[in-house]
Amino acid sequence: MATNKKKDVLLKIQDLRIEAYADEKWFEIVHGVDLTLHRGEVLGLIGESGAGKSTIGLAAMGFARDGCRISGGSIEFDGMELTTTPQSALRALRGSRIAYVAQSAAASFNPAHKIIDQHTEAPLHYRIQKRVEAQEDAMELYERLRLPNPQEIGFRYPHQVSGGQLQRAMTAMAMACRPDLIIFDEPTTALDVTTQIEVLAAIRDIVDQFNTAAIYITHDLAVVAQMADTIKVLLKGEEVEEAPTAQMLENPKEDYTKSLWAVRSFQRDQKPRPTDPNVKPVVSVKNVDAAYGDTKVLDDVSFDIYEGMTVAVVGESGSGKSTTARCITGLLPPLKGEILFKGEKLPPSYKDRSKDQLRQCQMIYQMADTALNPKVRISEIIGRPAQFYMGLQGGELKSRVDELLDLIELEPSKYYNRYPTELSGGQKQRIGIARALAAEPSFIICDEVTSALDQLVAEGILKLLDKLQRELNLSYMFITHDLATVRSIADEVVVMQHGKVVEQGPKDVMFTPPHHPYTDLLLSSVPEMDPNWLSTLLEERGVDNIGEAAEI
């Protein structure tokens, strides 16, 4: 990938400053960033959320989001100064010479039009190609991106193809006018590991083939290591350091970069199951079948979770992980089989369960944004379960809430009266944990709790969960598609595919070969820091079957 470098400069950003409007004031969020990009070069922008990655990415198109403005510096694209170019000229540039690939293709495609119609929109608008030409070109791009059925797939609507395919179709769309620069804004963050690989491979190929320059924005270091020639690390709108990928990975200079690199090192000791055969598991899922309407989604799922242990349930999207959780909580009564709690059978529907049964099993959600009521204060969000189950009132309730806030490492006096919107993503997730703890449960379901967070914050959450487990002797069911998380926190692993349990066992056994083929696929798909990992993997697997992985 680093073959065609050192050509002329395509994009040169100097001392870029961007301001955002909040609380009736403008304040600076990007403090003077420099950036130089040559033709055919891929630049990785990394940093935690709020570092200004996306804002800088958009600024490279001369665009500022609503409520933001470019307040200083210069953006020079191929000799054109974008900060002073009129809007109409900028618009002509976008789509034709600079393209943008958004994080969620599913949200960015218009669901009312066919994929190929949206693809050909730009070439038709700029009169680069006639409709038929543009369609043929689209099919060729689909083929190069190894989409199945390249002749036909474009004539489907966005909801008729899978997430990974849609993301590739979006990359094809960005290529439609053969732009000089593509900005990828976290294109694989919303995808699971097996799908991520095909998209990464596709993006890398196409960027190589057309010698396009790209800015690749992500918070996943392992991903950026595969894609970029140069990596730039950002923190709070300022550049931390910039270096060629290999050098950056081997020899980071700044402390912050080192801390980013060290994130995946958190690991805790694995606990074995209790040896005494009379000890009953806290939760035992026995031969559960479940269906949404007529579509069967779970088929004979069984596993046990013992006290104080963490069981990770892994699998790609659609494998039935979350549905299993819904069966355990009683939101989706199973068709067959039963859920045992400490040896007692739980009523299938949550409506029939007693207050105490409900209290024992709590849940932490993936999206803290939708899991916390935005119109309720933190004190009430956390206090309500304590009030509801324990009947705490007044001073007692307040001291319990303070205690819980202490447990999740948030300063009680500072956060007591805030609303969820005034918190960061990681803090919201902590509040979600506190709400679960307030019920004093013995079992907590963690549904992808770290996948919406960036790595430093996610590590903090994992450490907190681990600490709470030791202090309160909790059992976790940990739903995730991120095997790095599994490696750091799980005691036992359950692998699911197509609603069935493919393989289960203690973590050390699961992570040593021989594996079930599906487990192997999942394991080998986890990106590694080695910049040659993707190339090696693609060679091993053979390029042709990459596309197959996503087809469920």
Partner 1 sequence: MSVFVVGYYSLLIAASCLAAYYKRREPFLIIFGLTLISIIVGIIGGIGALKAITTVVALLALAAGMSYAFKEFLVTITPERWAKELRTAPLTASFGMFVIFIYAIAGIFAPVIAPHGEAEVIASSFAPPDQNMLLGADQLGRDMFSRIIYGARNSVGLALVATALAFFMGALAGLLAATRGGWFDQVMGRAADIVMSVPSLIFALLMLSIFGTNLIVIVIVVGVIYSPRVFRLTRAVAGNVVVMDYIEAAKLRGEGNWYLIRKEILPNSTAPLIAEFGLEFCFVFLLIAGLSFLGLGIQPPTADWGSMVRENATLISFGEITPLIPAAAIALLTVAVNFVVDWMLYRSSGLKE
Tokens standing for residue 254: 């700044």
Q: Is 428 in the site for partner 1 (CB under 8 A)?
A: no
| Among the listed residues 126, 157, 261, 350, the single contact to partner 1 using CB under 8 A | 350
Q: Which positions from 383 to 412 touch partner 1 by CB under 8 A, shown as an x/- string?
A: -xx--xx-----------------------
Interface with partner 1 includes 331 (CB under 8 A)? yes
Least Å distance, CB 372 to partner 1, is 6
- Which range of residues in 260-268, 380-388, 403-411, 529-537 is near partner 1 by CB under 8 A? 380-388
CA distances from 77 to 82, 85, 397 (A): 7, 11, 59
Binding test (CB under 8 A) with partner 1, winner from 8, 24, 255, 471: 24
DSSP string, 484-513: HHHHHH-SEEEEEETTEEEEEEEHHHHTSS
Of the candidate residues 90, 128, 367, 538, the single one contacting partner 1 (CB under 8 A): 367
- The secondary structure of 395-453, three-state, reads HHHHHHHHHHHHHCCCCHHHHCCCCHHHCCHHHHHHHHHHHHHHCCCCEEEEECCCCCC
Smallest gap from residue 291 Cβ to partner 1 (A): 19
Minimum CB distance to partner 1 smaller for 85 or for 357: 357
Shortest Å, Cβ 329 to partner 1: 6
Does residue 353 touch partner 1 according to CB under 8 A? yes
Residue 320 C-beta: closest distance to partner 1, Å? 18
Least Cβ distance, residue 31 to partner 1 (angstroms): 23
Q: Do residues 334 and 289 make contact, with C-beta atoms less than 8 angstroms apart? A: yes
With a CB cutoff of 8 Å and minimum separation 6, the contacts of 183 are 57, 58, 60, 61, 98, 99, 100, 101, 214, 215, 217
CB of 326 vs partner 1, minimal distance in Å: 9
Residues of span 42-81 touching partner 1 by CB under 8 A: 66-67
Q: Which is nearer to partner 1, 130 or 355 (CB)?
A: 355
Considering only 376, 509, 543, 552, the residue that binds partner 1 (CB under 8 A) is: 376
Q: Which is nearer to partner 1, 272 or 374 (CB)?
A: 374
| 363 in contact with partner 1 (CB under 8 A) | yes
Instruction: Indicate the residue type of 273.
Output: R
State which residue, 46 or 285, has the beta carbon closest to partner 1.
285
**Among 42, 240, 372, 501, which residue interacts with partner 1 (rule: CB under 8 A)?**
372
Closer by beta carbon to partner 1, 119 or else 326: 326
Closer to partner 1 at the Cβ: 262 or 331?
Answer: 331
Residues 544, 7: Cα–Cα separation, whole Å: 32
The only residue of 169, 170, 207, 371 in contact with partner 1, by rule CB under 8 A? 371
The answer, yes or no, to whether the previous bond of 374 is cis (omega within 30 of 0) is no
Kindly state the smallest distance separating residue 224's Cβ from partner 1, in Å. Answer: 29
H or E element that contains 287: strand 283-292
Residue 481's CB is within 10 A of a number of other CB atoms, namely 24
Q: CB under 8 A: which stretch of 86-94, 209-217, 365-373, 536-544 binds partner 1? A: 365-373
Please tell me the distance from the alpha carbon of residue 200 to that of residue 235, in angstroms, as a whole number: 25
Residue showing tokens 């618009």: 91
* Exposed / middle / buried, residue 415 (Cβ in 10 Å: 0-12, 13-18, 19+): buried
CA separation for the pair 410, 408 (Å, rounded) = 6
For partner 1, the closer of residues 427 and 504 by Cβ is: 427
Sort residue 47 into left (φ over 0), alpha (ψ -120 to 50) or beta: left
92-100, 211-219, 326-334, 463-471 -> range binding partner 1 (CB under 8 A): 326-334
> In whole angstroms, how close is the CB of 387 to partner 1 at the nearest point?
11
The three-state secondary structure class of 268 is coil
Detail the DSSP E strand segments found in 95-248. Answer: 98-101, 181-185, 213-218, 230-235, 238-244
* Distance (Å, whole) CA 311 – CA 492: 5
Told to check if 329 binds partner 1 by CB under 8 A, we report: yes
Which amino acid is located at 500 in the chain? K
| 315 vs 486: CA distance, rounded Å | 11
494 neighbors 313 (Cβ within 8 angstroms): yes
**Which positions from 217 through 276 interact with partner 1, judged by CB under 8 A?**
none
Tell me the closest approach of the beta carbon of residue 361 to partner 1, in angstroms. 8
Q: By rule CB under 8 A, what count of residues binds partner 1?
A: 27
Alpha-carbon gap, residue 509 to 528, rounded angstroms: 21
Judged by CB under 8 A, the residue of 330, 383, 460, 499 near partner 1 is 330
Nearer to partner 1, 448 or 492 (CB): 448
Please identify, using beta-carbon distances, which residue of 194 and 442 lies nearer to partner 1: 442
- CB nearer partner 1, residue 24 or residue 540: 24
In 310-411, where does DSSP find H-type helix? Answer: 321-329, 355-360, 368-371, 378-390, 394-407
* Residue 374 interacts with partner 1 (CB under 8 A): yes or no: yes
Q: Which residues bind partner 1 (CB under 8 A)?
A: 24, 66-67, 329-331, 350, 353, 355, 358, 362-363, 365, 367, 370-376, 384-385, 388-389, 435, 439
